[in-house]
Amino acid sequence: MHPDPAERRSALSHIAGSEGQTHAVMVDVSAKLPSARRACARAVIAFPAGLLERVLLEGGPKGPVTEVARVAGIQAAKRTSEWIPMCHTLPLEHVEIEFARLTPDTLEVRCTAACTGKTGVEMEAMVGASAAALVVYDMTKALSHEIALARVELLEKSGGKSGTWRRAP
């Protein structure tokens, strides 16, 4: 039996049991109806002064940084259930990776994921953004070990019972 919605929001969905007798569970979505799901997440990469310009103009020591990272992010999003133990395997219908300069020394990686399914695609979007950012780091670390992944966060999600959510600006 499921707790009422207010209790569910305060409970961890992947933990069952009580009083020190808890265990990990995969959420049962078998009774849910499929619906359109979409999520967008981002990872932010901070570069030492002047380095991002060089990377974007010349590429990195290992090749065209953003294109290799784009492919890696898409591939990672498609394999999220292999990264995150309690994630359901979802038939993604769309994954997009975009790059934008936020400041002269900060690069944003956005991943948007979508499918028609019984559970959301937030983790797929976050894994895609994270993997793409990690590949940017890997491909540029020979230039500086000061490059840092500054944050990974969900920006918005839609679909399912809880509807649409957007991070406040």
Identified catalytic residue from 4, 28, 105, 138: 138
In the DSSP assignment, the letter for residue 33 is: P
Q: Which phi and psi (to 5°) does residue 27 adopt?
A: -60, 135
Which region holds residue 160: left if phi is over 0, alpha if psi is between -120 and 50, else beta? left
**Is the Cβ–Cβ distance between 74 and 128 less than 8 Å?**
yes
Clarify whether 105 is annotated catalytic: no
Q: What is the largest CA-CA distance in the chain?
A: 58
The closest alpha carbon to 104, from 66, 140, 51, belongs to 51
Active site residues: 138
